[in-house]
Amino acid sequence: MALVTLCPGCGTTFRVNAVQLQAHSGEVRCGRCHRLFNGFATLITVNESEIEYPTRSHEQPQHQPEAHSIHEQVFSAENLAGMTHANDEPAPKIDSDWNQKDIEDVDHFETSKTFFDEEKPADPSWSRWALASVFLLLLLIGQIAHSYRTELTIIAPASRPYLERYCAMMACTVPYPQDINQLGIESSELQKKPVRQGEVTTLVATLRNHAPFPQALPAIQLSLLDEQNQLIASRIFIPQDYLQADNAMLAFFESMHEIEIKLDFDSSNLNALGYRLQLLYL
């Protein structure tokens, strides 16, 4: 006995086997109209002697696989009359106006792989979305690195040369960190030197950067006080004012380093008896 199933879309009949049907729970696709249907629903059994082989207009190409030949058997409408269904139900009704032309020829029947396993082509839009996502991710990383370039030099000091080269192209700078709590005044002193033109006072101080990373040079605020500790005068000195000749070109305050500063200013008529020194970032 042989198993035969009928396409409900175009009426094409095909010879199948149980292994093919069970591979996908009976779901098959017609090789002629490409309709997906359940092969078990229209499955019938016939005698091998009732199978007809249509006359070929050309010979089977030699390069086709041998497995193709087991699917090439088709049936006429007359031979389908009286056949029994595979589950002992009556065979589906066949229209009497079927003819041999309506029966699927072997050239329209797909191999078992394409009949049961539909391979969907890769969606080209997926690759475009993937490339766009990678580009947007790189753009986001670049924006974060640009906005937090100073913080990156704290986390990874070795990244400063690369960020500076980037800023050279983007016309920006990589500022040094400014953590005033990590700076300290190790020592300071006011020295008065009377001269003919007036009284000159010299401020001598030692500053230290306690941070584990380089920092920007701070400004210094000097406040002069009277005997009641009241403010008489105050002035802010920027790095260009207090840096000495040996470190006049210093651009930053190195980690765990000290610098000596020396400031001369005219204190005539101020009568200052005390002072207050403070570091700050402008």
Q: Specify whether 108 is located in the same domain as 139.
A: no
Number of domains the chain contains: 3
| Average pLDDT of the residues in 197-224 | 89
Range of the domain at 148: 124-170
SS (H, E, C) 209-273: ECCCCCECCCEEEEEEECCCCCEEEEEEECHHHHCCHHHCCCCCECCCCEEEEEEEEECCCCCCC
Q: Output the DSSP codes for 45-77.
A: EE-GGG-B-PPPSSPPPTTS-GGGGGG--B--H
Q: Specify whether 92 is located in the same domain as 145.
A: no
Q: What is the spatial distance between Cα 149 and Cα 3, in angstroms, rounded to a whole number?
A: 74
Tens-digit pLDDT profile for residues 36-84: 888 777 777 777 666 555 554 444 444 433 333 334 344 443 444 444 4
Contact between 10 and 40 under an 8 Å Cβ cutoff? The reply is no
CATH number at residue 201: 2.70.50.60
Tens-digit pLDDT profile for residues 219-275: 999 999 988 889 999 999 999 888 887 777 888 999 999 999 988 888 777 778 889
Contact between 192 and 267 under an 8 Å Cβ cutoff? The reply is yes
Tens-digit pLDDT profile for residues 90-146: 444 444 444 444 444 434 444 444 444 455 566 778 888 999 999 999 999 888 888
Q: What is the spatial distance between Cα 150 and Cα 152, in angstroms, rounded to a whole number?
A: 5
Contact between 180 and 280 under an 8 Å Cβ cutoff? The reply is yes
- Give the CA angle between residues 7, 12, 13 to the nearest 5°: 85
pLDDT (0 to 100) of residue 64:
39
Packing angle of the helix pair 124-147, 160-170 (nearest 10 deg): 100
Does 274 map to a domain? Answer: yes
pTM: 0.49
Q: Specify whether 160 is located in the same domain as 132.
A: yes
Q: Specify whether 152 is located in the same domain as 60.
A: no
Does 138 map to a domain? Answer: yes
Looking at 100, 116, 132, the residue that finishes a domain is 116
Does 163 map to a domain? Answer: yes
Does 187 map to a domain? Answer: yes
Q: Specify whether 186 is located in the same domain as 165.
A: no
Q: Identify the H or E element spanning 151.
A: helix 149-155
Secondary structure (3-state) at 197:
coil
Q: Specify whether 162 is located in the same domain as 131.
A: yes
Does 175 map to a domain? Answer: no
Looking at 95, 116, 137, the residue that finishes a domain is 116
Q: Specify whether 142 is located in the same domain as 243.
A: no
Q: Specify whether 132 is located in the same domain as 78.
A: no
Q: Specify whether 86 is located in the same domain as 137.
A: no
Reported confidence tier of residue 194, pLDDT bands at 50, 70, 90: low
Q: Specify whether 42 is located in the same domain as 112.
A: yes
Q: Specify whether 150 is located in the same domain as 198.
A: no
Does 45 map to a domain? Answer: yes
Does 164 map to a domain? Answer: yes
Q: Specify whether 203 is located in the same domain as 100.
A: no
Does 29 map to a domain? Answer: yes
